[in-house]
Structure 1
Amino acid sequence: MKIIEANAGPLTNFEVLDFLRAKGASKDPTRVLAKVAQSEYKIYDYLVNTAACDQTRENVNEFLEKCKRHDLAKAEVLNILNIRPTAAVEIFPIIEKCEDRFPDEEIEEIVELVKKTLSPPPAKPATEGVTPANEETAALTNEKDGETSQSQNKNENGEQMDMS
């Protein structure tokens, strides 16, 4: 990859992730195989958990081509690509004076365009960081307002126990 014009404009998260992958960044646990700085790995680790990880250059180009008819600013398009809003309520903070500039139908059209052309963000596991060893501890910390949760009312065999 060769830089043609330095500081030509902002990059999407997809472009940054693509650049880091081209440099050799990956989920290699030792992280000694590639010529990637530690700070770049931190960026890589963040971006692989965003919508950018599943986007392709074709999807991004298709979105850019189809969104031209909506008269969006470059920064607004960039933010839509990076955030990938899936509801109209998520569009309003991204687009300046959204209510004044676009009717509700056009906002919904933009959301549908995002859903159709850009891949969905990766699903986050509900029990992230919970292993069988600390599952009981996690269940104990999930108490709400002094009530015992259903997962705490099971014995070692997984049978439901009556705690009343």
Structure 2
Amino acid sequence: MEVVNECKALLSNQEVLELLEEIQPRRKGSAVVTGQQQNLATICYETIKYLEKTACKHQNKKVVQEFVRKLEPFKLTKAEKLQLLNHRPTTAVEIQLLIEESEERLTEEQTDTLLDIIANSLPATTETEPMEQN
């Protein structure tokens, strides 16, 4: 994965996980490890460990692209789409928290449709258990 302009890109949790998993094997072959490299390795490890417990572990580029395509009729911002993708809301209240002025911008039916799209397009954390809260 290549980040074209690190200051302009919004990355999903799935993209961050993919990037960290990609760079982690390269770091293991390093002979001399400085203190900064050790700190970076710890941050990478802890971030991967956290993200693997979330729904993004079961996402891939195709899932993300299809999800974003299904959101087009809702006229959401990039940041709002990213929030929906990363947080995978399951209730109308969560939608209200993630989408600015959702009460004015979305009808109740549109909110229900959004929840259906999320439930049917984004894999859950596990098949039988809801995601753990820290």
Normalised TM-score (structure 2): 0.79
Which residue in 1 is equivalent to 2:10?
10
CA distance in 2, matches of 1:124, 1:109: 21
Measure how far apart 1:8 and its partner are. Answer: 2.3
Indicate which of 104, 124, 127 corresponds to 2:108: 104
Answer yes or no: is the 8 Å Cα contact 2:53–2:131 preserved in 1.
no
Once residues 41 and 48 of structure 1 are traced to their aligned partners in structure 2, the CA distance between those partners, rounded to angstroms, is 11
When residues 125 and 56 of structure 1 are mapped into structure 2, their CA distance, relative to the original with a 3 A threshold, is closer
C-alpha distance in 2 between matches for 1:73 and 1:90 = 17
Aligned partner of 2:43: which letter? S
Structure with more contact order per residue of length (Cα contacts < 8 Å, sep ≥ 6) = 2
Cα distance change, pair 19–58 in 1 and its aligned pair in 2 (3 A): same
Give me the CA root mean square deviation: 2.3
Aligned pairs for 1:1-150 within 5 A: 1-24=1-24, 33=28, 37-122=41-126, 123=129
In the TM superposition, residue 2 of structure 1 has moved relative to its aligned partner by 3.5
Aligned pair count reads 120
Which runs of 5 or more structure 1 residues have no equivalent in the other structure?
26-31, 127-164
Q: Counterparts of 2:3 and 2:131 in 1: how far apart (Å)?
A: 38
Deviations 1:27-81 (A, max 9, x none): xxxxx84667111111111111111111111110000111011001111111100
Give the TM-score, by structure 1 length. 0.66
* Structure number with larger C-alpha Rg: 1
- Residue type at the aligned position of 2:58: D
Output the amino acid matched with 2:109.
Answer: E
Change (3 A) 1:64 1:95: same
Gap change, CA 1:56 and 1:125, over 3 Å in 2: closer
* Percent of aligned pairs sharing the same letter: 32
CA distance in 1, matches of 2:131, 2:54: 14
Partner amino acid for 2:8?
A
Structure 2 residues not aligned, in runs of 5+? 31-39
**Structure that is richer in helix per residue:** 2
